[in-house]
Homo-oligomer: A and B are copies of this chain.
């Protein structure tokens, strides 16, 4: 195993500490329990957005803490759910009296631990709601998940609900917006290579020298199909097709599109994928209103990519365009 790490037990603590050292104007890191909070939290009267999950998907979630996005992120160990205490203490530290919204990717451990945290907080009189993200069209049920997995759509939920909260929307309203995004976003991914979890020290799965896996999960969980490597344009069609179909996108509609790298993919290759995605959508009369191309939700050093599409309307575009200033996403500020 080749990694820029010190000790496998310290990987998440040290990376989180590094995030805090690099961005003291945006975030502060709490060590025990571990969470990343917005530097100026609590913001009085503002709905607090909290997410979290296993580490190894950076910049998700810690890189999205800041103005106009998350108030706190709770990083578990690599590919391991955070414990309820993390969410409870993070929520107490950042809530500003207007309630808390949990944004939860649909993995069994995450769902259970966020639920437990919500119950504990409600018992203390803090109003907590949860929105589940389950945007991966590749498979129903899989390792770690009942139902669909939560993947790239999470970035969209965090950005757009974050903008609503920043603008002073009520908990009801922020929850409505988050659900609207979650309902209208779909993703699918693929891998050329495996990732290696530090604590395990060997690749999560094996792929032949000429093989790829379509529909892979962000922890390397099995996807739809293992097959021979194909050209990027064919791969793009295999990912975009099911996403467009599942969303029921039609000509005349507009989307926010993301071509996301899994962590080890050169940016050049992501732009080759974007080129084809743009052509596919153009041919169907679907307008790409906004886009992201880069590493936004990763799987350690895995090579591969995912495509996420969000059906957009004026409300969602206005919130998307609102200023955001976090370690990993920044505009208008």
Q: Using CB atoms and an 8 Å cutoff, list the residues of chain A in contact with chain B.
A: 2-7, 11-12, 14-19, 21-22, 55-56, 58-59, 63, 192-193, 209, 212, 229, 231-233, 235, 263-275, 278, 291, 293, 295, 298, 300-301, 303-305, 327, 330-333
Contact = CB atoms under 8 A, between A and B. Distances in A.
A192 to B, nearest CB: 4
Contacts of A274: 18, 21-22
A28 to B, nearest CB: 15
Chain A at the B interface: mostly helix, strand, loop or mixed?
Answer: mixed
Contact of A301 (B272, B278, B303): B303
Contacts of A22: 271, 274, 278, 291, 293
B272 A14 contact: yes
A312 B18 CA distance: 22
Given A58-B266, A268-B11, A4 B300 contact: no
Contacts of A333: 331-332
A1 to B, nearest CB: 9
A2 B303 CA distance: 9
B265 A17 contact: no
Nearest to A278: B21
Contacts of A192: 2-4
Contact of A268 (B15, B232, B266): B15
Contacts of A209: 2
Contact of A266 (B19, B275, B301): B301
Contact of A272 (B5, B295, B304, B327): B5
Contacts of A327: 293
Contacts of A291: 22
A232 B303 contact: no
A4 B331 contact: no
A301 to B, nearest CB: 5
